[in-house]
Amino acid sequence: MSWEDKIRKVEPYVAGEQPKEKNIIKLNTNECPYPPAPGVEEAVRQLAGDSSALRLYPDMDATPLVNALAAQYKVDPDQIFVGVGSDDVLALCFLTFFSAGSREQPLLFPDITYSFYDVWANLYRIPFRQVPLREDFSINPDDYLPAVTGQENCGIIFPNPNAPTGLELPQADVEKIIAGNPDSIVIVDEAYVDFGARTALPLLEKYDNLLVVQTFSKSRAMAGARVGFAIGSKKLIGYLKDVKFSFNSYTMNLPSIRIGTASARDAAWFEETTEKIIKTRERFKEDLRALGFVFPDSKSNFVFAKHPDFSGAHLQAALRARKIIVRRFNKPFICDYLRITIGTDEQMEKVVEALREILGK
């Protein structure tokens, strides 16, 4: 047996394209089209004159950021866990909460959803079952209830709104899943919740098996800073911290802690920015309908759309030729859909113009 035969081999997550050329309209990775909160810029200026920001280890508990989030969401600081983007938080959740699963009790998540879930499950050797969505891409909560399916599980995770569909699961259905699985941890991944959906955070008062995960990458325009967080019961957060501190106590760097804190304190900027994106999204939906596109009713910062007369591959390539990049997933049932991030009004107008040209309308 060679040394290569002894290596752990996995199929990694494939991220969206990060183009090198200039003058591109980049609408493939759901980044915010606007700059971060003004306080973030001021924090960056202060960091430039503070050598300790790089010379010293950061606060392993990210206390200023945790306290700012606790104040915003009106929870105890011990109910908050922060990490290097929500991907880091979610990966630690898989390792902490789901690694004891078995084939008889697999982890459950939708079959069309965030494509990192199966990667983490395979990485940590967690048995899992992908639950089919309904034909309209909605989640059927009954499919996650042991009392209905007859099968227990080791945990449940789903985004709300879902990705890449953008559909919101009503809170009554979210609660149905949580209440129907009192012996399992349910994680609601709310990466896109700030664009018009309803958060599951109020349900934390009723259920100690619920964990809500959010990110600064989308609605707070800080994808490059890598800041994510989870809110849950003190017991769940304590278990997460135990795992984190077992292999790396200093995952979040000091600059990210400081600028993340500045962002969390600016509620006015946050609300103004998300409202702008929501208004642009709704106008873009109208334009797409007029062009004959069909799509689920997105509550996220993207639209998941297809045209009945053109393949997704053709439309993606035609847009790319016009220096507009959108995301397409070459998978069953969704290969003809394009996931189009909501940019500025000007950017979306250019997308509509390009689509009219491509469709010959």
Number of Cβ within 10 Å of residue 79's Cβ equals: 20
Residue with tokens 């053709």: 314
Report whether pLDDT(305) > 80: yes
Q: What's the confidence (pLDDT) of residue 81?
A: 98
Sign, Cα dihedral of 103, 106, 109, 114: negative
Tens of pLDDT, residues 195-230: 999 999 999 999 999 999 999 999 999 999 999 999
Which helix (H) or strand (E) element contains residue 301? none
Spans of all domains in the chain: 3-36+268-359, 38-266
Confirm if 229 and 89 have CB atoms less than 8 A apart: yes
Residue 344 to residue 183: CA distance in whole angstroms: 44
Number of Cβ within 10 Å of residue 88's Cβ equals: 19
Report the chain's C-alpha Rg in angstroms: 21
DSSP 194-234: GGTPPPSGGGGGT-TTEEEEEESSSTTS-TTT--EEEEE-H
Closest CA to 96 of 241, 226, 219, 218: 241
Report whether pLDDT(11) > 90: no
Tens of pLDDT, residues 151-195: 999 999 999 999 999 999 999 999 999 999 999 999 999 999 999
Tokens of 38: 């003004």
Tens of pLDDT, residues 225-245: 999 999 999 999 999 999 999
Tens of pLDDT, residues 14-53: 888 888 888 999 999 999 999 999 999 999 999 988 888 8
Of the listed ranges 133-147, 240-254, 266-280, the one predicted with least confidence: 240-254
DSSP summary character for residue 137: S
Question: Which residue(s) pair with 93 in the sheet?
Answer: none
Please tell me the CATH code under which domain 38-266 is placed: 3.40.640.10
Report whether pLDDT(361) > 90: no
Q: What's the confidence (pLDDT) of residue 280?
A: 98
Query: What residues contact 250, with CB distance under 8 A and at least 6 apart?
Result: 57, 58, 60
Q: What's the confidence (pLDDT) of residue 274?
A: 98
Number of Cβ within 10 Å of residue 58's Cβ equals: 18
Query: What residues contact 345, with CB distance under 8 A and at least 6 apart?
Result: 280, 283
**3-class SS at 128?**
strand
Q: Where are the beta strands (DSSP E) in the chain?
A: 25-27, 80-83, 107-110, 128-131, 155-159, 186-189, 210-215, 228-232, 302-305, 324-326, 338-341
Percent composition of the chain: helix, strand, coil (DSSP 3-state, to 5): 40, 15, 45
Q: Does domain 3-36+268-359 have CATH number 3.40.710.10?
A: no
Report whether pLDDT(101) > 80: no
